[in-house]
Amino acid sequence: MEIPIFTVDSFTNLPFKGNPAAVCLIENELRDDLYQSIAAEMNLSETAFITRRKSMDYSSGSRFGLRWFTPTCEMPLCGHATLASAAVLFYMKKNVNPVLVFETLSGELYVRQHEESLIMDFPLNKPKPQDQHEIKDLLKAAVGDLPIQDVCYSPTTKKLMVRLADACDRSELVSLRPEAESLLRNETTGKINSLIITLKGAESTQSGYDFYSRVFAPWVGVSEDPVTGSAHTVLAGYWSEKLKKKNMLAYQCSSRGGEVKLEIRNDGRLDIIGQAQIILQGALKI
């Protein structure tokens, strides 16, 4: 059996930047252990698997099944691999539909093209305040002695969000080096699958970014996720209220970097906007 596969850099207009995802086009559902083995072989933060619906091909069909796997487990929601999947269908398969619908563990997700970008229609996951004392050891492992302004948790996505105090600057966020082993040792409840550390954008700079972030997810086999759309469903819910804005521009400060545009819609959902670059195509032989 041969499976078409692509590597796509998401949330960037440059190759080798943003967040790489593998995208596989499969004719029929595979065994779960085979999905997991392929994702472990790819060894990227996520590998996406697209299946056709109602026997339509990849160029004319508008509805597809979509699953995401890290090297160690299946994920209920992944933004950058959804963006990568839509890029393969729109750019490589020349899909003719204005909107693609993906059936996922998080419900139906919609992606459309707009000029050089792709727009994903995602749920908005507003986080709730978290008692810092209950997780003080984890916070210490994450940010050391840097001052913290807010800590919030999203039970839907199992993401913990830590906002650094405004006295911190971007360089301090970039310099953080939390150890995966320490994070794992200080969070064993299973309630958290990733840690988001975020910082308000400085009004004195010319970047135009409303906030910055980094994401660490050793609990699902990903030490640092370079740019993650699912984290921004949480970040958008938090920062929209704090900044009193519905349209925001964010930058994820990983070593690869990545830019994400966010627009909170009137129906309470979130448009996540980004570009993607397809850098590799081939076939898996199984």
Nearest CA to 86 among 3, 10, 2?
A: 10
- CA-based angle 7:181:35, to the nearest 5? 35
46 catalytically annotated: yes
- E-assigned strand segments in 30-134: 46-52, 63-69, 74-75, 99-104, 107-114, 117-122, 128-129
CA distance 192 to 204: 34
Q: Which residues contact 258 (CB under 8 A, 6 or more apart)?
A: 10, 11, 12, 17, 18, 19, 226, 227, 251, 252, 274
Rg (C-alpha) for the chain, rounded Å, is 18
- Taken in order 218, 220, 226, 230, the sign of the CA dihedral is negative
Is-contact 78 68, C-beta < 8 A?
yes
Catalytic one of 29, 41, 46, 179:
46
Q: Which residues are catalytic?
A: 46
